[in-house]
């Protein structure tokens, strides 16, 4: 398979001496950690795979694993965070970032007294941004994020985006968390400027969900032969609208639990 993909679990190769892969299973979840070390650069990708988004039991388990992944890759001492949802809310398979932003609680404008009154005692300083896409704003997402992160004095950025997979088996059935930043649009041949420590000067943590697959990859996967050479088509499931909303809620809850309060998550979600 030719493999146009944004997922580390699909890019890995056993021949790479700089790469280590760890796999674990928890009931019906598979967690794969890919660690890459080269040229003083250490990247870590944690991918949670699951059979379905549409059961209450799965939802809770997935939230816990995403929360666990965030705790592993984001230092505890980071207090000021900018959450940025990439993508276009008008295109279903690219709407996850903006949808997540709608459900993450911004607290930069709230003082301790107000937070105590609503029953939340410990939160981080959080700003939330959906920068839109270059075609509608005329501004690269990285430019908007850089300006806002400097203004808010953010110590780190969490970006959320839709990804491309090389296998249909992972569409809406995997969530990837990494400390390596992101190159928006790279999986669909529409690569924009990188959003990373290199471009922003502060750590960038990324959460992504595979929502599309290249038609050429899909044809090869189904027929075991390259029957659609140079086919410039991107495919997504017919129920992508429902799945996007569902996975966005799961990611938003995990982010809110990490940034704010696991104990008071119900209260937090009622405020957004």
Closest-CA residue to 181 (of 164, 165, 193)? 193
Q: Using CB atoms within 10 A of its CB, is residue 38 exposed (0-12), middle (13-18) or buried (19+)?
A: exposed
Write down the pLDDT at residue 38. 74
Closest-CA residue to 129 (of 117, 118, 139, 121)? 139
CA 94 vs. chain centroid, Å, equals 12
Question: CA–CA separation, 180 vs 197, rounded Å?
Answer: 8
Q: What tokens does 159 get?
A: 């970006």
Closest-CA residue to 103 (of 126, 122, 125)? 126
Question: CA–CA separation, 132 vs 84, rounded Å?
Answer: 10
Cα 106-107-113 angle, rounded to 5 deg: 150
Q: What tokens does 42 get?
A: 């250490």
Q: How distant, in Å, are the alpha carbons of 104, 120, 121 from that of 261?
A: 12, 7, 8
Write down the pLDDT at residue 187. 44
Q: What tokens does 120 get?
A: 């939340």
Helices of type H across the chain: 8-11, 56-73, 96-102, 112-117, 134-137, 141-152, 197-200, 215-223, 240-259, 265-270
Q: Give residues with Cβ within 8 angstroms of 4, minimum separation 6.
A: 164, 166, 187, 188, 189, 214, 216, 217
Write down the pLDDT at residue 4. 77
Which residue is listed with tokens 């704010």?
260
* Tens digit of pLDDT at every position of the chain (272 positions): 456 789 999 987 656 778 899 999 998 999 999 999 877 778 999 999 999 888 877 899 999 999 999 999 999 999 999 999 999 999 999 999 999 999 999 999 888 777 778 777 777 999 999 999 998 999 999 999 999 999 999 999 999 999 999 999 999 999 999 999 998 755 445 566 899 999 999 999 999 999 999 888 787 777 876 665 666 788 999 999 999 999 999 999 999 999 987 877 888 888 88
């Amino acid at each position: 398979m030719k493999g146009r993909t944004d997922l580390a679990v699909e890019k890995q190769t056993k021949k790479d001496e700089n790469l280590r892969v760890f796999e674990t299973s928890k009931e019906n979840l598979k967690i794969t950690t890919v660690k890459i070390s080269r040229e003083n650069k250490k990247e870590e990708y944690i991918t949670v795979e699951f059979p379905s988004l549409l059961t209450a039991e799965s939802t809770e388990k997935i939230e816990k694993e995403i929360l666990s992944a965030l705790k592993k890759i984001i230092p505890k001492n980071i207090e000021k965070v900018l959450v940025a949802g990439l993508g276009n809310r008008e295109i279903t398979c690219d709407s996850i970032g903006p949808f997540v932003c709608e459900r993450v609680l911004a607290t930069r404008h709230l003082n301790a007294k107000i937070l105590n009154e609503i029953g939340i005692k410990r939160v981080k300083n959080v700003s939330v941004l959906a920068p839109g896409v270059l075609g509608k704003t005329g501004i690269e997402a990285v430019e908007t994020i850089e300006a806002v992160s400097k203004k808010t004095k953010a110590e780190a950025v969490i970006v959320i985006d839709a990804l491309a997979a090389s296998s249909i088996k992972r569409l809406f059935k995997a969530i990837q968390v990494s400390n390596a930043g992101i190159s928006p649009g790279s999986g669909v041949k529409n690569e924009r400027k990188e959003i990373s420590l290199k471009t922003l000067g502060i750590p960038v943590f990324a959460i992504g969900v595979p929502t599309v697959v290249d038609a050429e990859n899909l044809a090869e996967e189904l027929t075991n032969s390259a029957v659609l050479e140079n086919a410039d088509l991107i495919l997504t499931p017919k129920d992508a609208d429902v799945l996007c909303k569902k996975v966005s809620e799961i990611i938003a809850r995990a982010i809110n639990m990490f940034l704010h309060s696991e104990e008071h998550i119900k209260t937090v979600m009622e405020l957004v």
